Amino acid sequence: MIKMALITLSTKELSKFGNVGEGELEQVLTAIGVPVERIEGGEIDLEITPNRPDMLCVEGVGRAIRAFVHCKNPAYAAYKSGFKVLVDPSVQNIRPFIAVAVVKDVEITPRFLASLINLQEKLHDTMGRKRRKVAIGIHDASKIAFPLTYKAVSRDWAGFVPLDKENIMTPSQILRHHEKGIAYAHLVPGECPLIVDSKGQVLSFPPIINGELTRVTEKTRNVILDVTGTNRQSVSSIMNIIACAFADRGGKVFQVKVGKDAFPEFSGQRLKYPQKLVKSLLGLALVAQKRKKYLSMMGHGLSGSLVAVPPYRADVMHQIDIVEDIAIAHGLNNFPKTLPDFFSEGKKISTPNVHQVLCGMGLLECSSWILTSSQKHKAAGFQTAAGLEIKNKLTEDFAFVRSTIVPNLLEILGKSKDSAMPQKLYEVGPVWDGTRTKDVLCGAIAHHKVSFSEAKSVLKTLFFELGVSFEARPESSPAYIEGRCAGIVANGKRIGIFGEIHPQALHNFGIEQPVAAFELDLSCLG
């Protein structure tokens, strides 16, 4: 399933930002498409999909509720200032993009401070790709002086006091000894990027750690926001999300010049209203008043034929995103149920017999995601060279087109280890073989007595019922136990592999019972 970010908010605070009663929250959030996991003890747990990073904080969720219920959307303004950031060429090949903003007259309550830290970390994990693509810093502005300089220094540079420490540490020492440095040292293989002020004081060592000097406390009233990264659009989008959250708290946002640019960029984008798409995909012919209402319910403005996308909506990149918002505003349950008005002739395939045979032997069918992570493949003992990386992936959990289904079934077994044994699963689905996608059949059996022989007996029954002869030839694979693994050969051609899963793979997925698995190319059985 899609990896969602779980956030916990105060129902009282969310009710205040959303301008609705606490008893109405669940109904409205469900209509918007935000799953409510729990409401208890004055708190509400929400699952936020990766495409709505603006809703990873109470300000963003409240803003969405307020728009949906009352069609009220704030007009965000970023005031000009004389503040500047100088970007040294030394960061060009390290972490080239930076956005900086200043927020004044904001009250940092304990709850807001906790919300800020949570928003920062959730953005790091999602849009920021674990800080690799984007990293965020929030600083007390009273401690530093503009202009700021963004530059790279050697790992043995003089150093500064990092957050949560008392002594000066060089960048090298931070990477080797600081908790955050150890966790993210792989993101800084060479020289280290720093943000320093006009006095040479260090604000931040992105993407690792801020300086203790600029720690934000409840006494802070003016803050500096910095966002650094490897993609300009992502850097700007995340800056907008954080700056809007501060503006919702009553802060006054000031732009900071970085070269020829000034951040935050609150002007937002303009997209032409997708009239034909709305009609063809949703079957809606909306009059001007209805268009404006539906768009306003999702935070947008409408001027003539142009949709004004709010600055915090980083997910809106195409007219189809506007169509989706209109569908949500209209109400997904309000669309009439209709049958297709075209004829589609089915194509005969061989897999129904496969399903019938496997179900007859007590295997349960699964359906897992085609997109996965290379880490899961490696955890199962498979190399990822044949896999297909997603270029513009949203999360690391869905960054890779699978080259085998075995890790998917192992993950299911790992999450079902407390269920009754034996567990017998199978899946028919596509994998990437290095040049194309192909359909494969994968099965896995787990219980305390499972063996190579049981997997072989399942295959023998399957091939017998399909009228295909096969033989097993000894093979080796890191995913399987040596000596308990064999290739599947049919009509003189190797079409798959089966055997007992290696104990290390079982450990990696938290599986406590032995597992026997098989996987074969279905196209060879047609």
Please report the pLDDT score of residue 373 as a whole number. Answer: 85
- Backbone phi, psi, residue 129, to 5°: 50, 55
State the pLDDT at residue 359. 92
Which residue reads 């320093």 in tokens?
A: 196
pLDDT digits (tens, 9 = 90+) for 29-78: 999 999 999 999 999 999 998 889 999 999 999 999 999 999 999 999 99
- Give, as one character, the DSSP assignment of residue 146: S
* Structure tokens, 405: 């289904």
- What's the CA gap between 168 and 157, in Å, rounded? 11
Whole-number Å distance between alpha carbons of 58 and 46: 10
Strand ranges (E), 264-393: 270-272, 301-303, 306-308, 364-365, 371-372, 388-389
pLDDT reported for residue 3:
57
Tally: H helices and E strands in the chain: 15, 27
Q: State residue 1's pLDDT score.
A: 38
Q: What is the pTM of this model?
A: 0.70
Ranges in the chain, pLDDT < 70: 1-3, 346-352, 384-387, 393-394, 525-526
Structural domains in the chain?
5-70 (3.30.56.10), 78-263 (3.50.40.10), 270-333 (3.30.56.10), 351-525 (3.30.930.10)
Instruction: Please tell me the predicted confidence (pLDDT) of residue 2.
Output: 45
